[in-house]
């Protein structure tokens, strides 16, 4: 029986190195550098590239990828333990070559791209030379692909794309886009969508505007329009009509990786809460002596530990089955729980810090906004709750009886019949 809550010593040494490296070398970058996706920032390049090289020299670059793509091929459980450290810093994923959306885009290019596509788009992406964008959602449809209207029509050796995409993260800095469109209206949506690789600057690609979430100072989520934009037929990613399956393979990993990093961010909020509680006095005693604050700390600790175990369990399942479909229920559960955990812990930490907590001199409001984003990114919480419920219900059956299976009168009668001999003997002895 294999059951352990410890990490093997060799990998723990790597985690200890990552922890120190992120704290001393990477977290300070968050306060002096801007958009992590902007590869034209020369100051960022001069600071970031030496750190990236140290990570590469350590063998910790792009750990989500296999050796054939330049990574060590770590499983999801190891990635979870790494990412909960990286989640403390906005720049850490970039330093370790696993930043979103590039990591997910690299994975689907690795699995579905042809050799020419890998050479043109994947190689520089894995090297950290360029950034990419995943353009899926649309203004009127959100994340529901059955409502997508952006469409591609074949015209000789080209595809002509028309439509709009919304909340396309990092679009303003991307060297290329992966665009999900309807390519066949004669079949169901799940079989009629395709993905295309679109280089930045392609004629017909229009930036309507860049959108920022409240309080966000770096990065953007663009509103895009495609006006008779033409791409060569060889820019089709994977098979025609296979976009939905490709998207699901990408999003499953993205959801669990977001959760891994959220652990580190929530832990950071809890750490700040505890430090403040032990440092600040009011009404004659430390905040840590106040029952309400003790309740905040206890509730936050319990939430975080429960969430972390759930994430690690889902990661272990992915490693065991190597099939995101088999872990769909628990990935969706992680996605449901994640925003609430981050929101609640950040909100309590903000309260404990008083007026300082709501200023831009502390990170709590950014965390609260981030929690709201996590409740919408990669599918809204409500949709994932439906997924969880449906997956759970598959393990149960209805009863045709008017009374439930666990109806006590029937259970009691059955128990009395089972033990009638002993019960009758007991009565006779009396």
Question: What's the CA gap between 428 and 362, in Å, rounded?
Answer: 76
Structure tokens belonging to residue 62: 């792009």
Residue 356's pLDDT band (cuts 50, 70, 90): very high
Return the higher-pLDDT residue of 167 and 216. Answer: 167
Q: How far is CA 102 from CA 16, 107, 205, 245, 273, in A?
A: 26, 9, 20, 19, 33
Same domain, 188 and 315: no
Question: What's the CA gap between 34 and 29, in Å, rounded?
Answer: 9
Q: Tell me, yes or no, whether 287 lies in a domain.
A: yes
CATH number of the domain bearing residue 366: 1.20.140.10
- The predicted-structure confidence for 26-82, as pLDDT tens digits, reads as follows 999 999 999 999 999 999 999 999 999 999 999 999 998 888 777 888 989 999 999
Question: What's the CA gap between 357 and 273, in Å, rounded?
Answer: 10
- The secondary structure of residue 251, as a DSSP letter, is H
Helix (H, G, I), strand (E, B) or coil at 237: strand
Number of domains in the chain: 3
Contact criterion met (CB below 8 Å) for 193 and 181: yes
Contact criterion met (CB below 8 Å) for 51 and 112: no
Same domain, 226 and 258: no
Return the higher-pLDDT residue of 335 and 66. Answer: 335
HSE-CB at 155 with a 13 A cutoff on CA atoms is 10
CATH number of the domain bearing residue 149: 2.40.110.10
Contact criterion met (CB below 8 Å) for 65 and 106: yes
Same domain, 279 and 311: yes
Across residues 137-154, what is the average pLDDT?
91
- Helices marked H in 322-407: 328-352, 364-374, 381-393
HSE-CB at 415 with a 13 A cutoff on CA atoms is 7
Same domain, 252 and 202: no
End-of-domain residue from the set 237, 270, 292: 237
Residue 252's pLDDT band (cuts 50, 70, 90): low
Q: Tell me, yes or no, whether 108 lies in a domain.
A: yes
- Sequence-ordered list of residues with C-beta below 8 angstroms from that of 317, at least 6 positions apart, any chain: 326, 327, 330
Same domain, 74 and 204: no
**Worst-scoring range by mean pLDDT, 154-163, 216-225, 372-381?**
216-225
Return the higher-pLDDT residue of 97 and 218. Answer: 97
User: Cα 243–249–255 angle (5° rounding)?
Assistant: 120
Contact criterion met (CB below 8 Å) for 168 and 134: yes
* Residue that is written with structure tokens 């330093």 in the block: 95
What pLDDT, on the 0 to 100 scale, is given for residue 430?
64
Mean pLDDT, the chain, whole residue set: 93
Q: Is the pLDDT of residue 25 over 90?
A: yes
Find the domain containing 40 and state its range.
9-113
Question: What's the CA gap between 363 and 370, in Å, rounded?
Answer: 11
DSSP string, 130-170: --EEEE--BTTTBT-GGG---EEEEETTEEEEEEEEEEEET
Across residues 211-231, what is the average pLDDT?
86
C-alpha dihedral sign at 197, 201, 206, 209: positive
Q: How far is CA 113 from CA 102, 107, 235, in A?
A: 15, 10, 9
Across residues 387-396, what is the average pLDDT?
96
Same domain, 253 and 295: yes
Q: Tell me, yes or no, whether 387 lies in a domain.
A: yes
């Amino acid at each position: 029986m294999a059951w352990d809550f410890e990490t093997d010593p060799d990998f723990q040494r790597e985690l200890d190195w990552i922890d120190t490296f992120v704290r001393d070398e990477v977290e300070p970058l968050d306060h002096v550098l801007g958009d992590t996706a902007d590869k034209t920032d020369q100051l960022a390049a001069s600071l970031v590239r030496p750190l990236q090289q140290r990570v590469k020299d350590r063998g910790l670059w792009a750990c989500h990828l296999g050796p054939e793509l330049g990574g060590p091929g770590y499983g999801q459980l190891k990635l979870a333990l790494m990412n909960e450290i990286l989640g403390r810093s906005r720049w850490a994923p970039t330093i370790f070559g696993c930043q979103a959306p590039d990591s997910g885009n690299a994975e689907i290019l690795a699995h579905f791209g042809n050799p020419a596509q890998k050479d043109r788009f994947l190689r520089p992406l894995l090297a950290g030379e360029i950034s990419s964008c995943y353009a899926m959602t649309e203004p009127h449809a959100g994340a529901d692909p059955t409502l997508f209207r952006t469409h591609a029509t074949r015209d000789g050796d080209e595809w002509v794309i028309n439509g709009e995409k919304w909340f396309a993260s990092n679009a303003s800095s991307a060297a290329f886009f992966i665009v999900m469109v309807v390519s066949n209206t004669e079949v169901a949506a799940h079989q009629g969508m395709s993905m295309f690789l679109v280089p930045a600057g392609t004629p017909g690609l229009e930036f309507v505007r860049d959108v920022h979430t409240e309080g966000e100072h770096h990065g953007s989520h663009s509103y895009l329009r495609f006006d008779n934009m033409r791409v060569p037929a060889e820019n089709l990613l994977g098979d025609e009509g296979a976009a939905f399956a490709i998207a699901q393979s990408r999003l499953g990993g993205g959801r669990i990786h977001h959760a891994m990093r959220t652990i580190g961010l929530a832990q950071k909020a809890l750490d700040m809460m505890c430090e403040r509680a032990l440092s600040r006095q009011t009404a004659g005693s430390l905040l840590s002596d106040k029952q309400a604050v003790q309740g905040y700390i206890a509730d936050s600790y319990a939430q975080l530990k429960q969430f972390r175990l759930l994430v690690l369990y889902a990661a272990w399942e992915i490693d065991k089955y190597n099939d995101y479909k088999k872990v769909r229920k628990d990935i969706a559960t992680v996605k449901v729980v994640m925003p609430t955990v981050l929101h609640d812990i950040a909100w309590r930490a903000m309260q404990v810090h008083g007026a300082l907590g709501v200023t831009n001199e502390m990170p709590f409001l950014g965390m609260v906004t981030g929690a709201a984003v996590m409740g919408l990114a990669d599918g809204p919480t409500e949709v994932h709750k439906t997924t969880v419920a449906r997956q759970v219900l598959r393990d149960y059956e209805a009863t045709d009886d008017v009374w439930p299976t666990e109806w006590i009168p029937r259970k009691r009668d059955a128990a009395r019949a089972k033990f009638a001999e002993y019960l009758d003997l007991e009565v006779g002895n009396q």
